[in-house]
Amino acid sequence: SAGGASGGGVRFELEKETELRFEVEAGEKVQLELLSGLAEVFGSELTRNKKYTFGSGSKIAVFTWHSCSVSLTGKTEVAYVSRDTPMLLYLNTHAALEQMRQQAERDNERGPRVMVVGPTDVGKSTVCRLLLNYAVRLGRRPTLVELDVGQSGVSVPGTVSALCIERPADVEEGFSVQAPLVYHFGSTSPGTNIKLYNKLTSCLAEVFSQRCEVNRKASVGGCVINTCGWVKGSGYQALVHCASAFEVDVVLVLDQERLYNELKRDLPHFVKVVLLPKSGGVVERNKDCRREARDEKIREYFYGFRGVSFYPHAFDVRFSDVRIYKIGAPSIPDSCLPLGMSQDDTQLKLVPVTPGRDLTHHVLSVSCAEDEGAEAGASGPAAQRRGILESPVCGFIVVTAVDTQAQVMTVLSPAPRPLPRHTLLIMDIRFIDLK
Ligand code: ATP
């Protein structure tokens, strides 16, 4: 229930197991303060009398297990208290996972590997954040695996990644992303290159398993995998592939009975498939909203976030100093394929890109793959051998201008010249730097 104003803010008294949901109006900011009691935002506890600021378009829920009073200052699009939340079910899910971790500890086994699935806008990312927060608050060290190439919580869009969670997410900024393992996918929908998507899923699974072998805490902590909202056709097959690559133990299906039944039918019987309701608070986001969120993620990568400002560098890169590839050749009719080659091969092929004006504004991943001597123009087979596809990314740049005459391009880079590596992978994604 909304109460009187306090210091310019609106005060809300929350009873136990209720939540205050609010959305920040476009172009505005809202300050949240916990005045008394205990409360959390997506599993991160609030500190009393600290002012938390949320930017334009943020959609937030302040939940309390006990009861609390909070105040909101600034322009909200909506702000209301709801008693109808699935939080108790989510907490029970966490408790079941924690039991599996305790058992893993006792029996010297590995902890739960959990995949969170469901259509778009059902709160998958939020459930992942919640489960990871509750786990890390108990001293666990779970891993977040981010397979949502459209709205990555870890890196820029067009990537898949893994991140070891060592502390709860910051209430305003989310999980601290100090040393994520990131792979280049190149576009915002897995459907653009499903073979590559599945291959990268396998890569992440392999690296995670290797880490579990040498790091007991990581093994017991297990992982929480966030997936894309594409749950039909090849999108569904990608979920089944992911379940098998990671050997998941638990699948949490949000809000879709059909998907739940399909996965129960298609996954091995020892995989626990659980249907969970979505929260009524999850807000649908339209295309523009998603595009804006993606843009913001790239801007943050170069310019920092709120308190922390980064100062990116702009410099020229000679065409002859780099090798640019696109992953996946356009598909051609089977009858035109060279003997012994399949469509799969074309989707995983590295195609050299000749730099031109159309590179402008494209985001490029700088691959960690070792540069191969001075042998400029190395293409196809040689490049494949070096395993560029399976190499993580060490950073991103944006092409801001191309001068074909001088054979140079100007790039925006988080670090000063020179580039750490010279193999660049082009994304479909573009970023227009307005600063
Ligand atoms: P997608 O797969 O489309 O990326 P998703 O299923 O992962 O979406 P989320 O990103 O978790 O969905 O949630 C969508 C939005 O709803 C987010 O902005 C999130 O902050 C907000 N949200 C989630 N739960 C609540 C809640 N209980 N109250 C208010 N807002 C919420």
ipTM: 0.97
Of residues 257, 225, 258, 218, the one with CA closest to residue 243:
225
Q: How far apart are CA 359 and CA 367, in angstroms?
A: 17
Predicted pLDDT of residue 285: 85
Q: Would the CB of 229 count as within 6 Å of ligand 1?
A: yes
The vertex-282 CA angle with 139 and 200, nearest 5°, equals 60
What is the mean pLDDT for each group of 10 consecutive residues in the chain (435 residues)?
A: 60 98 94 98 98 93 98 96 97 98 97 97 97 98 97 94 96 89 96 95 97 97 96 96 98 97 97 97 88 91 82 95 91 69 79 93 94 52 68 96 96 94 95 82
Which stretch of DSSP H or E encloses residue 209?
helix 194-214
Q: How far is the CA of 378 from the centre of ligand 1 (A)?
A: 44
Strands in 97-212 per DSSP E: 113-117, 143-146, 159-164, 181-184
Closest ligand 1 atom to the C-alpha of 122? Answer: 6
Distances in whole angstroms, Cα of residue 214 to Cα of each of 178, 323, 392: 20, 35, 20
Q: How far apart are CA 194 and CA 385, in angstroms?
A: 21
Q: How far apart are CA 423 and CA 435, in angstroms?
A: 27
Atom 31, ligand 1: residue with shortest CA distance = 282
Q: Would the CB of 277 count as within 6 Å of ligand 1?
A: no
Q: What is the pTM of this model?
A: 0.93
Q: Would the CB of 151 count as within 6 Å of ligand 1?
A: yes
Predicted pLDDT of residue 378: 47
The vertex-167 CA angle with 164 and 172, nearest 5°, equals 110
Q: How far is the CA of 118 from the centre of ligand 1 (A)?
A: 12
Q: How far is the CA of 59 from the centre of ligand 1 (A)?
A: 7
177, two tokens: 């992303």
Cβ neighbour number for residue 357 with a 10 Å cutoff: 11
- For 303: left if phi > 0, alpha if psi spans -120 to 50, otherwise beta; the answer is alpha
Closest ligand 1 atom to the C-alpha of 280? Answer: 27
Q: How far apart are CA 329 and CA 364, in angstroms?
A: 17
Closest ligand 1 atom to the C-alpha of 228? Answer: 2
Q: How far is the CA of 280 from the centre of ligand 1 (A)?
A: 10
Q: How far apart are CA 291 and CA 269, in angstroms?
A: 39
382, two tokens: 């040689």
Distances in whole angstroms, Cα of residue 255 to Cα of each of 98, 146, 261, 276: 23, 20, 12, 6
Predicted pLDDT of residue 309: 81
Q: Would the CB of 283 count as within 6 Å of ligand 1?
A: yes
84-106 CB burial, b ≥16 within 10 A, e <16: ebbbeebbebbeebbebbeebee
Of residues 242, 264, 284, 289, the one with CA closest to residue 116:
242
Q: How far apart are CA 426 and CA 396, in angstroms?
A: 10
Instruction: Count how many Cα atoms sit within 13 Å of the Cα of residue 385 in the half-sphere of its side chain.
Output: 6
- Say which residues have a Cβ less than 8 Å from residue 142's Cβ, sequence separation at least 6: 111, 131, 132, 135, 136, 165, 221, 222, 223, 224
Closest ligand 1 atom to the C-alpha of 227? Answer: 2
Q: Would the CB of 184 count as within 6 Å of ligand 1?
A: no
Closest ligand 1 atom to the C-alpha of 126? Answer: 11
Cα-to-chain-centroid distance, residue 163: 10
Distances in whole angstroms, Cα of residue 312 to Cα of each of 75, 392, 397: 32, 22, 10
Q: Would the CB of 424 count as within 6 Å of ligand 1?
A: no
**What are the backbone angles phi and psi of residue 233, rounded to the nearest 5°?**
50, -125
Predicted pLDDT of residue 345: 75
Q: How far apart are CA 415 and CA 332, in angstroms?
A: 39
Predicted pLDDT of residue 372: 66
Q: How far apart are CA 40 and CA 429, in angstroms?
A: 35
Let me know if 116 is exposed, middle or buried by CB neighbors in 10 A (0-12, 13-18, 19+). Answer: buried
Predicted pLDDT of residue 33: 97
Q: How far apart are CA 253 and CA 236, in angstroms?
A: 12
Q: Would the CB of 146 count as within 6 Å of ligand 1?
A: no
Atom 19, ligand 1: residue with shortest CA distance = 59
Predicted pLDDT of residue 73: 97
